[in-house]
């Protein structure tokens, strides 16, 4: 018995045929497209991959993009966002939102979701994802948060190894 009854070439052929048949119309698999549920509400739908040692925007509003690792990520004040983080790496990673890192406490001194520059929002510090895990945040950024922020991983050594990206709030 053949171990792989369907070769890669055959799979590609099948995908091509499906595309010609009008089956593959979206640029992302249906499970990754969330915007449909909120169409017309002006929600920005972002997918961000994380790995060793980076964050990388994978898609914006369902359209795949080719972004550099740890390149600045722009979101908008006064608008709702669905931001899906997926750990595509081999080890655990975190996502924190803020500025002015405290590398001893492994937190931002100013949390994007905190008030008046507090270290922590009321209870929310960040996401912690095992390899292969993902989580989607549904957030709204207050108008007074415009400016330059950052997302980073505070797992031991990760921030130091460069796992951080500017977060620009317009
Ligand atoms: Cu990390």
Write the pLDDT tens digit of every residue in 64-118.
999 999 999 999 999 899 999 999 999 999 999 999 999 999 999 999 988 766 6
Query: Of the candidates 168, 157, 167, which has an alpha carbon nearest to the alpha carbon of residue 53?
Result: 157
Contact criterion met (CB below 8 Å) for 55 and 73: yes
Q: Tokens 């001194």 belong to which residue? A: 109
pLDDT at 60 over 50: yes
Give residue 22 CA to ligand 1 midpoint distance, Å: 40
pLDDT at 155 over 50: yes
pLDDT for 43 equals 85
Q: How far apart are CA 56 and CA 127, in angstroms?
A: 16
Residue 55 lies in a domain: yes
Contact criterion met (CB below 8 Å) for 43 and 84: no
Give residue 8 CA to ligand 1 midpoint distance, Å: 33
The range of the structural domain enclosing residue 90 comes to 28-169
Give residue 21 CA to ligand 1 midpoint distance, Å: 42
Residue 111 lies in a domain: yes
Give residue 71 CA to ligand 1 midpoint distance, Å: 16
Q: In this structure, what CATH number is given to the domain that contains residue 76?
A: 2.60.40.420
Q: How far apart are CA 136 and CA 31, in angstroms?
A: 12
Give residue 165 CA to ligand 1 midpoint distance, Å: 12
- Residue 127: pLDDT band (50, 70, 90) is very high
- Number of domains into which the chain is organized: 1
pLDDT at 142 over 50: yes
Give residue 62 CA to ligand 1 midpoint distance, Å: 25
Query: Of the candidates 128, 106, 120, 103, which has an alpha carbon nearest to the alpha carbon of residue 50?
Result: 128
pLDDT for 124 equals 82
Residue 51 lies in a domain: yes
Residue 154 lies in a domain: yes
Q: What is the DSSP letter of 40?
A: T
**What is the overall mean pLDDT for the chain?**
82
pLDDT for 23 equals 41
Residue 53 lies in a domain: yes
Residue 5 lies in a domain: no
Residue 21 lies in a domain: no
Q: What is the DSSP letter of 141?
A: -
pTM of the entire predicted model: 0.76
Q: Tokens 């209870």 belong to which residue? A: 123
Residue 149 lies in a domain: yes
pLDDT for 39 equals 53
């Amino acid at each position: 018995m053949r171990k792989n009854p369907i070769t890669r070439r055959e799979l590609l052929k099948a995908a091509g045929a499906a595309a010609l048949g009008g089956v593959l119309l979206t640029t992302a698999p249906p499970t990754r497209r969330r915007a449909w549920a909120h169409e017309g509400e002006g929600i920005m739908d972002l997918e961000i991959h994380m790995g060793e040692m980076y964050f990388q925007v994978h898609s914006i509003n369902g359209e795949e993009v080719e972004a550099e690792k740890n390149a600045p990520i722009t979101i908008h004040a006064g608008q709702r966002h669905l931001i899906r983080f997926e750990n595509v790496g081999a080890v655990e990673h975190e996502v924190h939102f803020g500025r002015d890192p405290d590398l001893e406490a492994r937190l931002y001194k100013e949390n994007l979701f905190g008030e008046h520059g507090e270290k922590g929002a009321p209870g929310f510090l960040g996401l912690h994802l095992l390899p292969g895990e993902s989580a989607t945040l549904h957030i709204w950024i207050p108008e007074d948060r415009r400016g330059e922020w950052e997302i980073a991983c505070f797992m031991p050594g990760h921030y130091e190894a460069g796992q951080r990206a500017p977060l620009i709030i317009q």
